[in-house]
Structure 1
Amino acid sequence: MKRLLAGVVAGLLLIPHGVALGAELDELLEESRSASYSAEQLISCATPDGVRDALIELQQRAGEVRYFGKSKSTTEVWSGYGGWVVQSDGSVIDSANVDGEEVLPAEEPRYQVEEAGQALYLGRRADTYVLRDGELARAELIVDRATGVIMSVVTFDDEGGVYCERTFVSYNPNVPEWPVVESDPDSEALVASSESTLPEELAGFTRLDVYVDDDGLDFGYYSDGFFSFAVFESDVEIVLDGGVVYRVDGGSYAREFTPGQVTYTWPISNGGMALIGDL
Structure 2
Amino acid sequence: MRIRTSTPLEPAVFTDTHCHLTHLSGAVSAAVDEANQAGVTTMITVGTDLASSAESVQIATSHPGVYASVGIHPNDSIEATEAVLDRIEDLARHPQVVAVGETGLDWFREGAPRVRQEESFRAHIRIARDLDRTVVIHDREAHDDIVRVLMDEMPLPRVVFHCFSGGPDLVQTCAANGWFMSFAGNVTFSNAADLQVSAKQVPSDLLLTETDSPYLTPHPHRGKPNAPSYVPVTTAFLADLHDIEAEEMARITASNARRAFALPDG
Specify the TM-score bucket, using the shorter chain as the normaliser: under 0.3
**TM-score calculated relative to the size of structure 1:** 0.27
Give the number of the structure whose residues are more often helix, by fraction. 2
**More RCO (CA 8 Å, sep 6+):** 2
**TM-score calculated relative to the size of structure 2:** 0.27
